[in-house]
């Protein structure tokens, strides 16, 4: 049965193929294709890492301060340290984008547990590692899906409990999310939403979920990443008088919503047209979703949220 992808032989022709972009590793800037992580890094071996993702739109970072706040809070929670202060990390991220020349960019910055000179299993003996990179902007939903709305399946795969792994610390524990995706693909959907241990809606692979009913919005409050875009939605709703709250979102409530949308730094506000094969509303982006989406992108022009990148051709201090 075809999965709509190239044959296996075609998928593995060039294992060194990478998108264009610039990385920062071990104190130097590199083309994306040259960025490498040791096989002994515990970020690779144990998924022992935290990261954050910001985006650049129209040559400026959006809400970079909020992403930096979360990143430094999370490396502290994981007992990690990096040799760069907050303003130095911001400069590194700006440099990655400037050197790449990208005006719309996906920018990831990572702290891994790193390596131990003796391969000690004591995490306190590992030397933590900081990595950053900028590549072309990518979205959870492609342009067609953004226009018509995503087809989503609620997977039977249960999201990792926040009792085990703190969901507010952005991490690479994605096997439950990947399993959920394959569950969704098998049912003809394009992405998945996972349940929490109580059987309520949690989140999807890299996105938060919002349901609109009778003009009010609910998003899950348990076992989910406290997304920067998620917070931006709260801010937008507070400013325009739309009721929006975090709470319990049941599977039935999601299926019976008037509108559903998902949010991520990778894509912003994205409409959902179907859940488990059933149309949401009239099967297209609803009026509240469209209003919030427009407001979200309009905020990218607000000076308070912009951190402008100085590209080499625009600098006058060299």
pTM, entire model: 0.93
Q: Are residues 190 and 283 in the same domain?
A: yes
Q: Is residue 3 part of a domain?
A: no
* Structural domains of the chain, count: 2
Looking at residue 1, its pLDDT comes to: 41
Q: Which residues contact 60 (CB under 8 A, 6 or more apart)?
A: 300, 306, 307, 308, 309
d(CA 62, CA 133): 16
| Residue 191 structure tokens | 């992405």
Looking at residue 10, its pLDDT comes to: 67
d(CA 100, CA 93): 11
Run of H or E residues at 109 = strand 105-115
Looking at residue 234, its pLDDT comes to: 98
User: Which structural domain, as residue segments, surrounds residue 128?
Assistant: 18-136
Q: Are residues 64 and 190 in the same domain?
A: no
* Pair 50, 56: CB distance under 8 Å: no
Q: How many CB atoms lie within 10 A of CB 163?
A: 9
- Give the CATH number for residue 92: 3.30.470.10
Arithmetic mean of pLDDT over the chain:
94
Q: Are residues 110 and 177 in the same domain?
A: no
Looking at residue 61, its pLDDT comes to: 98
Looking at residue 12, its pLDDT comes to: 62
Q: Is residue 12 part of a domain?
A: no
Q: Which residues of the chain have pLDDT under 70?
A: 1-4, 6, 8-16, 314-318
Q: At what angle do helices 86-100 and 64-77 cross, to 10 degrees?
A: 130
């Amino acid at each position: 049965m075809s999965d709509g992808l190239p044959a296996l032989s075609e998928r593995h022709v060039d294992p060194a193929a990478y998108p264009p972009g610039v990385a920062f590793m071990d104190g130097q800037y590199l083309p994306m294709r040259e960025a490498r992580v040791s096989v002994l890094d515990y970020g690779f071996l144990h998924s022992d890492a935290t990261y954050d993702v910001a985006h650049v739109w129209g040559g400026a970072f959006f809400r970079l301060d909020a992403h930096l706040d979360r990143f430094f809070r999370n490396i502290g929670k994981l007992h990690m340290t990096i040799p760069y202060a907050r303003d130095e990390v911001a400069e590194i991220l700006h440099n990655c984008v400037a050197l790449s020349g990208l005006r719309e960019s996906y920018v990831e910055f990572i702290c891994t547990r790193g390596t131990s000179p003796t391969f000690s299993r004591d995490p306190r003996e590992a030397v933590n590692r900081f990595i950053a990179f900028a590549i072309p902007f990518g979205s959870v939903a492609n342009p067609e899906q953004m226009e018509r709305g995503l087809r989503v399946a609620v997977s039977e795969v249960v999201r990792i409990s926040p009792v085990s792994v703190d969901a507010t610390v952005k991490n690479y524990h994605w096997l439950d999310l990947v399993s959920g995706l394959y569950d969704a693909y098998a049912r003809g959907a394009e992405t998945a939403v996972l349940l929490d241990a109580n059987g309520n809606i949690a989140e999807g692979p890299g996105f938060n979920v919002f349901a609109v009913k009778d003009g009010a919005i609910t998003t899950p409050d348990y076992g989910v990443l406290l997304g920067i875009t998620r917070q931006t939605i709260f801010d937008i709703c507070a400013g325009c008088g739309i009721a929006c709250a975090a709470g319990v979102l049941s599977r039935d409530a999601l299926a019976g919503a008037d509108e559903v949308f998902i949010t991520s730094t990778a894509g912003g506000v994205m409409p959902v047209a179907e859940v488990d094969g059933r149309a949401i509303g009239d099967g297209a982006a609803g009026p509240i979703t469209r209003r919030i989406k427009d407001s979200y992108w309009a905020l990218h022009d607000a000076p308070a949220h912009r951190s402008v990148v100085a590209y080499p051709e625009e600098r006058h201090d060299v």
